[in-house]
Amino acid sequence: MQNAISVRVKSAEICKVNIDVEPVTFNRGFFACDLTFFIHVKAEAIMCNKSICDLNGICVFQKKVILFGSEGSVKTFCSQADIGDDDEVTTETTNLPTCCVDCVAPVVLGSKVCEVCECKDPCHIFPRSVLAKMNGEPAFDRDDNKALFVTLGLFSIVRLERAVQLLIPVYDFCIPEKECIANSDDPCDLFSKLQFPIDEFFPPRACDLLGKDREGGCSRC
């Protein structure tokens, strides 16, 4: 980055979103959702000798939303146990709603190479899945006083989901009584079913081209 003439961002991809759901105090039924987006950014730097160097980095974006997820005081036990659990018969789950995030690929709005402050240590602890995508820990060069800052646009939908009991009417299986009529391969039979194109033989009038009036008739030409 220190010897780069220019840097161009090629792509940005969301590789992981950490979600933490906690109930809001003194506001029953509402939950605070803390979202941390880890975005993998690929860029290329043009060096002084006209060579191109590929760059990989991670952008971290945090967002907090408060949504209504209702409330419940029951404990849910499921027959599906966690892997490595001693008791594989049943497992207990919390009654918190499930937070889901739908997001599209980030839009790269701009990028700029700027000088960084004296503190160059990473401000976040990256998950293992993010490090696996980066093929290891991100490298921080203390002798390099420049860094790439990327502005990203992110569209996302955050929702809370909760399992509820619904009464839905169910009907018996319906067996089709009619049979599908097979299409005939006879071209004459197909041609006989087509309507005669009367309008194609008569040229349209001027009122037909200009449109009809409010009463449904032709306007005066």
**Chain centroid, CA 178 distance in Å:** 43
Q: Half-sphere exposure of residue 35, counting CA atoms within 13 Å on the CB side?
A: 25
Q: Let me know how long the chain is.
A: 221
The top-scoring range by mean pLDDT among 27-36, 43-52, 77-86, 209-218 is 27-36
> What mean pLDDT value characterizes the chain?
77
Tell me which amino acid residue 118 is: E
pLDDT at 181: 66
CB 195 within 8 A of CB 201: no
**Chain centroid, CA 196 distance in Å:** 50
pLDDT at 127: 75
CB 106 within 8 A of CB 153: yes
The residue written with tokens 């290891």 in the block is 136
Neighbours of 78 (CB within 10 A): 9
Average pLDDT over residues 173-196: 71
pLDDT at 221: 46
CB 7 within 8 A of CB 113: yes
Residues 203, 199: Cα–Cα separation, whole Å: 7
Neighbours of 191 (CB within 10 A): 8
More confident residue, 158 or 183: 158
pLDDT at 17: 92
11 Cβ partners below 8 Å, 6+ apart?
Answer: 41, 42, 108
> Considering the chain, what percentage of its residues have pLDDT values greater than 70?
72
Q: Considering the entire predicted model, what is its pTM?
A: 0.62
Residues 53, 50: Cα–Cα separation, whole Å: 10
pLDDT at 33: 93
3-state secondary structure of 212: strand
Chain segment 44-92, per-residue pLDDT in tens = 888 877 788 888 888 888 999 999 988 777 777 777 655 555 555 555 5
More confident residue, 118 or 129: 129
Residues 162, 100: Cα–Cα separation, whole Å: 11
**Chain centroid, CA 127 distance in Å:** 20
Average pLDDT over residues 135-145: 63
More confident residue, 143 or 173: 173
Q: What DSSP state is assigned to residue 29? A: T
